[in-house]
Chain A
Amino acid sequence: MVKPALSLLLAALTAAPAARAQDPLKVVTTITDLAAITRSIGGDAVEVEHFVRAGDDPHQVLAKPSMLLKLSRADAVIVMGLNYEHAFMPALLQKLRQKRVKPGGPGYLELGSLITPLEVPDKLDRGQGADLHPFGNPHFNLDPENGRLIARAIRDHLATLRPERRADFERNWKAWDERARALEKEWQKLLAPYRGAEVLAYHNSWPYFLQRYGLVLAGTVEPKPGMAPSARHLAEIASLAREHGIRVLLIEPWYDARRVSALSSVPGLKVVSAAATASSAEAGGYLEHLDRLIRDLADALAER
């Protein structure tokens, strides 16, 4: 008597409500760029939540049980992969029991497998930095061509999970992709005069972006990934910027700009604040974020 009652209680407490075909798909993404693209393509067929807020450093995000609850109730989980979400996803996936949204499950989509990663380390050695990514640099979302790959994969993923809405996803994706291609032509034109130009970055988040537009990373303020710069390293970076006439330093908003104040003496060097993922209700979606970033960058490169 007690055992069946206990089982019923456990089932009532832990069971996720069964999804019906007319209900929106519950999608959880890690970063806002993925959430924005999913909303654009999924339309009213999806309800999207994300874990990393716009402008937040993904390394600082806590793995919380509320995230576990959201994952356990989700129909689809979309992540960057390549250790981008190292701070929280492995711990959550280890505890998560719902196979449908775990790696290998029908609802799980890891986008890192779509691309050929850059900067895969030859050897894994903490001497190379504290913030190392063994599978390669994970900031591939900053290349708009990769953004198009991401959008296509999300379209297919949603269509697999909700085949009766395939035509809607296809239509939404076409509209999104046409806009992406048109913007990309503009961006290529905007940055074409600066091909080969050197830039500095605080953290090495930009290899895919820089490669797309033929820009060159001359150095990073972090001496090694995840390490704070010493005064000596800052002096070396300032000297490099002076000697090479570098005009742009890309810095994510979560890094303390006071740390680069030593570089303010470099003539012509402009600090461009740019998050590696920043789609938000205020800033707009993925394409809007890239558009603003590229225009800011072009302006900074144009200044003499």
Chain B
Amino acid sequence: MTRLPAVLLPSLLFLLPPPLAAQDPGAGQDEPQLDVAAPPGRMGASRSGFLGTFDSSFNPAIGVAFDLVGEFSGAPGRADRYNQIRARSVELNLASRIDPLGWAYAFLTAADTGAETAVEVEEAAIWLDRLPADLSLRAGRFLADFGRWNTIHSHDKPFVNEDGVRREFFGGPLFLTGVEVHQWFGLGDLPVRWSLGLGADATGDDHDAAGGAHAHDGAAPFGRRGLDNWIATGRFTGQHDVGGNGYFQWGLSGSYAPGMLRFEDPDGTPGSGDESRLELRQAVTALDLTLRTVDASARTADTVGVELWRRQGQFDTPAGAPASGPADGLWGFYEHDFSPFWAAGVQASWWQHADAGSSGWFGGASGAAQRAVFLTWNLSEFNRLRLQLAHENPGPGREDFLVVALQWTAILGSHSHAIEW
């Protein structure tokens, strides 16, 4: 039997109905009757006593994002992901200020990769945003500040699937459990920002990755780390105004993981042994460039984003001897918004599998690629349909295939816009 803490018992007594006389002191007399429906004039001093303290005034903002995806393809051996409609993610988000010094947020996500369904705390972090000199500090589990697009949740990106480079090098959007320090300032009239992160745990989490390769149960590429086996990230970025309502942004990012960990590669050749590799250390650097122009007088917009990544790692090989080698990746997209309701664009990724055969600078024979065209219909700001046709080239020895995807994203509840950088 569950035991209630002793301190709760006296509290429960207050919830019992009081004696009749206490409930209705003026019954049968000409005194004004209590209007129990009237709102209390002051919180905590309502007519219902201190129960008024437990109203909803300080509840956090709550929102839910539904991201339904159907992907259809004749791809061999991927029945777990394709030719089905799945709730790729259903995300409950909560956010509120804690006190004048900081705020906190959490994203609780039920994700269906096709092969598995998992409920997880995708992000849960505290931001201290009132530190001196426009410094801020975030602690918890969060999307790492790496590149221009890592901090944006998959369902909010302009295309259906995560870029292939991120999926190859990190296993999907990179989540850190640790701390991240940020600062922004003006270098003359140019706003710039830097961040440094330190994670005791890092996970690449892609809601499209099937087969447990990037599973939600801890078998993700980076796995759980201790303080002696950490990952560090950093980013420096600046944003220039373009026209009255656009920008050009550049950024340099890096991550370094010195320790030993198991890397699960869903694109490894089946039976060759490279589906699961031991990685000794890894450094990833990335250059990102983004140009966004918005004509708010015509309600049209154009966005171009490009990211060039390099990964330097040391791995074990099927032969057993550790090998090292660089691997490059390049991805980008272009989107044109015809109006707030319609948009179309293209996305392309090219990357090298990180193994002994890669030679960096786009050399070697281990490349893979992904191309997509997409059409987006925003029925409203909170309701979006997207059609995408993608061509996937998984690399040498594997067949190319086409994927037709339909995505329906709906957002309800709390809603806000963030600074774009």
Q: Which residues of A contact B (CB under 8 A)?
A: 10-11, 13-14, 52-53, 55-66, 68-69, 72-73, 86-88, 90-92, 94-95, 97, 126, 130-131, 226-228, 253-256
* Residue from A58, A66, A227 having most chain B Cβ neighbours under 10 A: A66
Q: In the complex, which of the residues B184, B296, B418 contacts A63, with contact meaning CB atoms closer than 8 Å?
A: B418
A-B contact pairs, 18 of them (CB 8 A): A10-B133, A10-B183, A13-B185, A56-B244, A57-B296, A59-B340, A62-B292, A62-B294, A63-B419, A64-B421, A65-B191, A65-B239, A65-B421, A66-B239, A91-B419, A95-B129, A95-B184, A95-B419
Interface flag for B29 (CB, 8 Å): no
Give Cα A91 to B95, complex, Å.
14
Given known contacts A60-B294, A86-B417, A130 and B189 CB-to-CB distance under 8 angstroms: no
Given known contacts A57-B296, A254-B296, A87 and B417 CB-to-CB distance under 8 angstroms: yes
Give Cα A206 to B245, complex, Å.
25
| Residues of B with C-beta under 8 A to A59 | 340
Total inter-chain residue pairs, C-beta < 8 Å: 109
Give Cα A65 to B186, complex, Å.
9
Give Cα A11 to B183, complex, Å.
12
| Residues of B with C-beta under 8 A to A68 | 184, 191, 419
Interface flag for B193 (CB, 8 Å): yes
Q: Which residues of B contact A (CB under 8 A)?
A: 129-130, 132-134, 183-187, 189, 191, 193, 239, 241, 244-247, 292, 294, 296-299, 301, 339-341, 380-382, 412, 416-421
Q: Is B420 a contact of A63 with CB atoms below 8 Å?
A: yes
Q: Is B381 a contact of A254 with CB atoms below 8 Å?
A: no
Interface of A is mostly: loop
Give Cα A130 to B418, complex, Å.
18
CB-based nearest B residue for A89: B417
The 4 closest A-B pairs by CB, nearest first: A65-B191, A56-B296, A60-B296, A130-B380
Q: Is B239 a contact of A64 with CB atoms below 8 Å?
A: yes
CB-based nearest B residue for A13: B185
| Residues of A with C-beta under 8 A to B340 | 59-60
| Residues of A with C-beta under 8 A to B247 | 62, 64, 66
Q: Is B245 a contact of A55 with CB atoms below 8 Å?
A: no
Q: Is A60 a contact of B241 with CB atoms below 8 Å?
A: no
| Residues of B with C-beta under 8 A to A58 | 296
Q: Is A65 a contact of B184 with CB atoms below 8 Å?
A: yes
CB-based nearest A residue for B298: A254
Give Cα A294 to B185, complex, Å.
45
Given known contacts A14-B134, A88-B417, A60 and B299 CB-to-CB distance under 8 angstroms: yes
* Residue from A14, A90, A131 having most chain B Cβ neighbours under 10 A: A14
CB-based nearest A residue for B239: A65
Give Cα A11 to B133, complex, Å.
7
Q: Is A64 a contact of B341 with CB atoms below 8 Å?
A: no
Give Cα A86 to B415, complex, Å.
10
CB-based nearest A residue for B412: A126
Q: Is A57 a contact of B421 with CB atoms below 8 Å?
A: no
| Residues of A with C-beta under 8 A to B339 | 228, 256
| Residues of A with C-beta under 8 A to B417 | 63, 86-88, 90-91
CB-based nearest A residue for B237: A65
Give Cα A56 to B293, complex, Å.
13
| Residues of B with C-beta under 8 A to A73 | 186
| Residues of B with C-beta under 8 A to A60 | 245, 294, 296, 299, 301, 340
| Residues of B with C-beta under 8 A to A227 | 380
Q: Is B381 a contact of A226 with CB atoms below 8 Å?
A: yes
Q: Is B299 a contact of A57 with CB atoms below 8 Å?
A: yes
17 more contacts with CB within 8 A, not counting A64-B420, A126-B412, A254-B299, are: A13-B186, A14-B185, A52-B296, A53-B244, A55-B297, A60-B296, A60-B299, A62-B292, A64-B191, A64-B247, A73-B186, A95-B419, A97-B134, A126-B382, A130-B381, A228-B341, A254-B298
Q: Is A69 a contact of B296 with CB atoms below 8 Å?
A: no
Give Cα A59 to B189, complex, Å.
25
CB-based nearest A residue for B420: A62
Q: Is A62 a contact of B245 with CB atoms below 8 Å?
A: yes
Q: Is B187 a contact of A13 with CB atoms below 8 Å?
A: yes
| Residues of B with C-beta under 8 A to A253 | 297
* Residue from B296, B340, B380, B412 having most chain A Cβ neighbours under 10 A: B296
Give Cα A228 to B380, complex, Å.
8
Q: Is B133 a contact of A90 with CB atoms below 8 Å?
A: no
Rounded to whole Å, the gap between the CB of B379 and the closest CB of chain A is 8
Rounded to whole Å, the gap between the CB of A68 and the closest CB of chain B is 7
| Residues of B with C-beta under 8 A to A62 | 245-247, 292, 294, 420
Give Cα A52 to B296, complex, Å.
9
Given known contacts A53-B244, A69-B191, A61 and B381 CB-to-CB distance under 8 angstroms: no
Given known contacts A10-B133, A13-B185, A130-B381, A53 and B416 CB-to-CB distance under 8 angstroms: no
Q: In the complex, which of the residues B189, B241, B245, B420 contacts A56, with contact meaning CB atoms closer than 8 Å?
A: B245
CB-based nearest B residue for A86: B417
Rounded to whole Å, the gap between the CB of A115 and the closest CB of chain B is 25
Q: Is B296 a contact of A53 with CB atoms below 8 Å?
A: yes
Q: Is A69 a contact of B186 with CB atoms below 8 Å?
A: yes
| Residues of A with C-beta under 8 A to B244 | 53, 56
Q: Is B189 a contact of A66 with CB atoms below 8 Å?
A: yes
Given known contacts A56-B244, A65-B184, A66-B189, A14 and B419 CB-to-CB distance under 8 angstroms: no
Given known contacts A14-B134, A53-B296, A65 and B416 CB-to-CB distance under 8 angstroms: no
Rounded to whole Å, the gap between the CB of B36 and the closest CB of chain A is 22
Rounded to whole Å, the gap between the CB of B100 and the closest CB of chain A is 11
| Residues of B with C-beta under 8 A to A11 | 133
| Residues of A with C-beta under 8 A to B185 | 13-14
CB-based nearest B residue for A11: B133
Given known contacts A69-B189, A226-B381, A53 and B299 CB-to-CB distance under 8 angstroms: no
Rounded to whole Å, the gap between the CB of A3 and the closest CB of chain B is 13
CB-based nearest A residue for B421: A65
| Residues of A with C-beta under 8 A to B241 | 64, 66
Q: In the complex, which of the residues B133, B299, B412, B420 contacts A14, with contact meaning CB atoms closer than 8 Å?
A: B133
Give Cα A58 to B417, complex, Å.
13
Give Cα A65 to B241, complex, Å.
9
Rounded to whole Å, the gap between the CB of A47 and the closest CB of chain B is 14
| Residues of A with C-beta under 8 A to B297 | 53, 55-57, 253-254
Rounded to whole Å, the gap between the CB of A89 and the closest CB of chain B is 9
* Residue from B130, B239, B246, B340 having most chain A Cβ neighbours under 10 A: B340
